[in-house]
Amino acid sequence: MYWVKYFVRWHDLRHPKNLGGPEVGRFLIMLAADRRVSPSTHKQALSALLFLYRHVLGQELPWMAQLQRPPARKRIPAVLSHSEVHRLLDAMQGQPPCWLACSMAPACG
């Protein structure tokens, strides 16, 4: 609901059935470029508009296939493997304050 309301308001309260691919595209570009939303938020907005046009307004959307979807963010692993921890500690060898704290951190959970 939020994304549909935002879409309509962003287009000066024009009815979505009077808007088409270019307007949806500009809205999605605005979200990515100006508002800098995350890729998952961008996909959520796109899905909301797809649902609106397909299921509420009953319109097929040949232009939706042409819209660019943002790439998924590459996630950094939250936990290091044993070999990664050993390599990290080996690289820090000779750095007295850092090395001691970092060598104890994995054992602390």
Residues of the chain with pLDDT under 70: 65-73, 77, 96-97, 99-100, 102-104, 106-109
Which pLDDT value is given to residue 108? 66
Q: How far apart are CA 74 and CA 51, in angstroms?
A: 27
Decide: 38 and 86 in contact? Cβ < 8 Å: no
Q: What is the pLDDT of residue 75?
A: 73
Distance in angstroms (rounded) separating the CA atoms of residues 26 and 67 = 10
Q: What is the rounded CA–CA span in Å between residue 30 and residue 7? A: 11
Sign of CA dihedral 30, 63, 15, 55: negative
Residue 31 identity (one-letter amino acid): L
pLDDT tens digits for 50-76?
888 888 888 877 777 666 666 666 777
Contacts 24+ apart (CB under 8 A), 87-91: none
